[in-house]
A and B are shown apart, each in its own frame.
Chain A
Amino acid sequence: MRFFSHQRPEIPIVDHIKSDGTEWTIKEKLWLGLSASDYFKQFFRNPVNWLMIGIFAVGVPLILQRYIYGLAAVTHASNDYPWGLFLGFGLFGMVPLSASGFMLGTTCELFGRKDFHPIERLALLNGLLGYFFAVLFLEVDLGMPWRLPYPMFVSLGPAAVLFLVAWHVATYLSVQIAEVLPAFFEWIGWLKGKRVIRKMVLGLTIAGIILSTLHQGALGALFTYAPSKVHPLWLSANFQWIHFFCSSIFAGLSMVIVSSTLIRNFAGWRCDDTFKNSLDDITIKLGKGCSLAMITYLVIKIVAIAHDQEWAYLLTGWGSYYLLELGVGVVLPMFMFATAVRNNSATLARAAAWITVFGIIWNRLNTSMITYNWQLYPEIPHWKEVWITVTIYSLYFLTYRFIIYRLPIVYNWKGKK
C-alpha cells in the first residue's frame, strides 16, 4: 500500500518537524500527513478495508441487537453451554496470544537482552490490544456489562478464581498502558511523561510477570470448577493452571512473530531499517524460545495424564482427537521451530508461528466448548454469535493497524526522545 511519493519525502512521518521546518500538528499526524481526500483515496484502494466494511455492515446491527434484545437474540441462549465463542475465543483465546507483552518486557528490561529491543514495543502493543479486546469480548458476553466494576468495588468475592482474573486483567491492563505510553509520548512530543514511565519500568515489568503468571493460570483454573463436565484429558485439577500458563508463553511469542510478519509484508513503509534488518534474526530467536516452552508444555501435559491415570482415555475417540490437537498444534510447530533455529530459516519459524497460533486457539476452544459437556451434546454456535466475534476481532485488527501506522512501534522516532 503506497500512498506517499517521492515528491513528499517527509511522509511517512517520523519526526515532529516537516521538511520546510514547521511542526506537524497532531491532526496532521493522525491523517498520516495526507489531505483528507488523499487519505480516503488510499483507504478505499485497499481491498482489506472493503472486507472490513462488509463485516461491519452486518456486525454492527447484530451487536445492537444483542444490547437491545438480549443475548438470546444472537446466541442459542444455552443453559448447558453458558460460555460460547465470545469467551471461548475472545477471552480464552485472546489472552494467551497477548502474553507477548510480559514475555518481551521481561526479556528486554529484566534480563537486559538488548538484541530484542526492536520488537519490544510491538510485543507490548500486541499484549495491550489483546487484553483490551478480551475485555471488550467480555463486555459483549456479560449479562450485565454495565456492572463490570462490581467485582472490584461493589461486591467482592475474593475466594473465586474469576475474582483473580478480573483484578489481574484490570491491573495488568493499566501496566500495559503505562508500558506502551512512551511511544505515544514520543509521538505527541511530551517527554516528561516518558521519563516518568522510564523510572517505573522495572517495577512495571515485574508486576507484569506476577499478574501474567496468575491470570494466565487462573483462566485455566476456571475450568477446575467443572471437573465432571470438561473431558478429563483437557482438565487436570493439579496442572491446569500450569498448562494454561506454559502454553501462553509460546502463544504470545508466536503471535508476535505472526504480527511482525504481517507488518513487514503489508506495512513495510512504516518499518525502519533497524526493524527490518533485525527481524529475521529476532524471529529465529523467538522461535527458539517457543520450541523450549513447547517441550516443557508437552512434558507437563504427559505428567498430567500420568498423574490422573488417564492413559486409557487416549485409546478412545476423544483420545485420538487429543493426540491430533497436541500433534498438530504443538509437536509439529515445535519441530519446525527447532529446525528453523538449526537451519537459520526465519521463513520456517514464521510458518510454525502461524500453526502455533491456530493450535492455541484450538486448545482453548477444545477446553471451553468442544470437550466441555462431552457427555451431553455438541453445541454449534449461532451464526450471529460467530459474526459478532468476527466483527469484534476486525475492530481489533483495525485498531492495531491504526496504531502501527502512527506511533513509533516498528520504527524509531527521529525527533526528540
Chain B
Amino acid sequence: MKTTVSRRTFIKGGLAGTVAATVLPEKKSQAATFEGYPDGMGVLVDLTRCVGCRSCEAACNEEQKLPQPEKPFDDFSVFDEMHHGQKRRTDETRYTIVNRYDVPGLDHPLFRKIQCNHCQEPACLTSCFVNAYTKTPEGAVIYNPKVCVGCRTCMIACPFYIPTFKYSSAFNPRIMKCIFCYDTRLKEGRPPACVEACPQEALTFGKRNKLIEIGRQRIRETPDKYEDHIYGEHEVGGTAWMYLSSVPFDQVGFDTHVPKEPILNYVKDFLGIVPMVLTIWPALFAGFHLLATRKDWLKNKNEDTHEEE
C-alpha cells in the first residue's frame, strides 16, 4: 500500500499542530482559574419526584458490596430513626440514604437522598495531606485507601458530613464514601447504580452543565412547583450532584449556610503566609540577633584591641 501525504492532509496536520500549539499553553494558564472539568458528569435529584422507596439504597448496597443492613430496604420504619436528635446519615455500611421530612403545610412528606455530592473543588481532596482523593475528569471524587493514614481531616473538612471512617477495623480501617460508582460504571460512561434503580426518574444523570440547564428549565416551566434555586450549582463552589426542591431547602435538611465558594478559599489566607514566613523570618531574626548582641560584640572587640596595645 502506497502512502502519500496529500496537500489536504498536510495542511490539516499543520493546522492541528498550530491549534495545539496555541491551545496547549492556554490550557496551562487556565489552571489558576480552573472551573471544573467541562465534561464532568453529575446527577440532578428532584425532590418533588422522590417517593422514598429506598431502591437507590438497595442498589448502592449491592453495587458497592456493603454489608446487609439489620432492617431490609423495604422497611420504612427507618425514616423514624433518630440518633442524637439527627436523622440517619451515611456511615461505613451505607454510602447513600434517604430521609423523610414532614414539611408543615404540605399534605405529603418529602424525601431527600444523601450521598457524596462530588464537589467541583472538593474540601476532602484539598485537606488531604497524602493525596488520597482524586477528582476524575468524569466528575467523581474517588479515594485511594492504599495511601490513607486515617487522620480524618477530610471528615472535618467535608461541609456535607459525607466521608465516614471504618472505626470498627483495627488493621484495615479506611474512609468509606460514595465514589459515584466510578470503578464499575462511571468510567465506562454508565450512570451509577442508584440512578439506574430509581423507578421515579427522580435522579437524572448527565453532564453537569446540561443538568443545570435542565434544572433551570423545570423551574421555568413550572415555577409554582419549584423553589427558584438549584442546590449545588454554587454551593461550596459547585457540586456534581444537585438538587431541586418544592420547599425551601433548609426545611428538607439541607445546610443552606454552607459557603458559596470552595472551602479551600477559607484556608488560602494561611497558605499565603507560609512562603513569607519561610523567606523573611531567617533574615529578620538573624538581624535581631545581631542587633541584640551588638553591645557584647563591641565590648569584646574593644577588649581585644586593648589587649593588643
Contacts and interface: CB of A to CB of B under 8 A. Distances in A.
Contacts of A69: 170
A377 interface: yes
A395 interface: no
B267 A221 contact: yes
B231 to A, nearest CB: 14
A214 B130 contact: no
A2 interface: no
Interface string B246-259: 00000000010111
B22 to A, nearest CB: 29
A226 interface: yes
B148 interface: yes
A382 to B, nearest CB: 11
Contact of A110 (B86, B164, B169, B285): B285
Nearest to B152: A82
A231 to B, nearest CB: 12
B228 to A, nearest CB: 23
A210 to B, nearest CB: 5
B168 to A, nearest CB: 5
A306 interface: no
A155 B143 CA distance: 13
Name the residue among B90, B128, B266, B285 with the largest chain A CB count within 10 angstroms.
B266
B161 A80 contact: yes
Contacts of A315: none
Interface stretch (B25-33, B67-75, B205-213, B275-283): B275-283
B161 A210 contact: no
B292 A110 contact: yes
Interface in B261-305: 263, 266-267, 269-271, 273-274, 277-278, 281-282, 285-286, 288-289, 292-293, 296
A68 B167 CA distance: 12
A106 to B, nearest CB: 8
Nearest to A159: B126
Given A217-B270, A221-B270, A228-B159, A156 B130 contact: yes
Interface stretch (A36-44, A51-59, A146-154, A250-258): A146-154
Contacts of B227: none
Interface residues of A, number: 64
B7 interface: no
Contact of B270 (A70, A202, A218, A228): A218
A70 B126 CA distance: 27
B147 interface: yes
B266 A160 contact: no
A110 B285 CA distance: 8
Nearest to B150: A143
A240 B170 contact: no
A206 interface: yes
Contacts of B257: 228
A224 interface: yes
Given A151-B130, A221-B270, A79 B149 contact: no
A71 B92 CA distance: 14
B79 interface: no
Nearest to A156: B131
B155 interface: yes
Interface residues of B, number: 59
Interface string A107-119: 0011110000000
Nearest to B92: A79
Given A72-B167, A151-B130, A144 B285 contact: no
A82 B156 contact: yes
Contacts of B90: 79
Interface string A5-19: 000000000000000
Nearest to B171: A70
B129 interface: yes
A206 B130 contact: no
B127 interface: yes
Contacts of A133: none
A80 B281 CA distance: 39
B173 interface: yes
A377 B89 CA distance: 14
A376 B159 CA distance: 13
B194 to A, nearest CB: 20
Interface string A232-258: 000001101100000000000000000
A69 B129 CA distance: 26
Contacts of A144: 148-150, 173
B113 interface: no
B165 interface: yes
A200 to B, nearest CB: 14
A394 interface: no
A166 interface: yes
Given A214-B277, A224-B267, A143 B174 contact: yes
B130 A226 contact: no
A79 B165 contact: yes
22 contacts: A70-B167, A70-B168, A72-B167, A77-B165, A79-B164, A80-B86, A82-B152, A110-B285, A141-B151, A143-B151, A143-B152, A155-B131, A155-B132, A160-B128, A162-B127, A205-B285, A222-B156, A223-B156, A227-B263, A229-B159, A241-B270, A377-B84
Given A66-B170, A143-B166, A217-B270, 11 more contacts: A83-B156, A106-B285, A148-B149, A157-B129, A162-B128, A209-B281, A224-B269, A225-B126, A225-B156, A226-B159, A376-B84
9 shortest interchain CB distances as A-B pairs: A143-B150, A77-B167, A221-B270, A82-B152, A155-B147, A70-B170, A72-B167, A225-B157, A82-B155
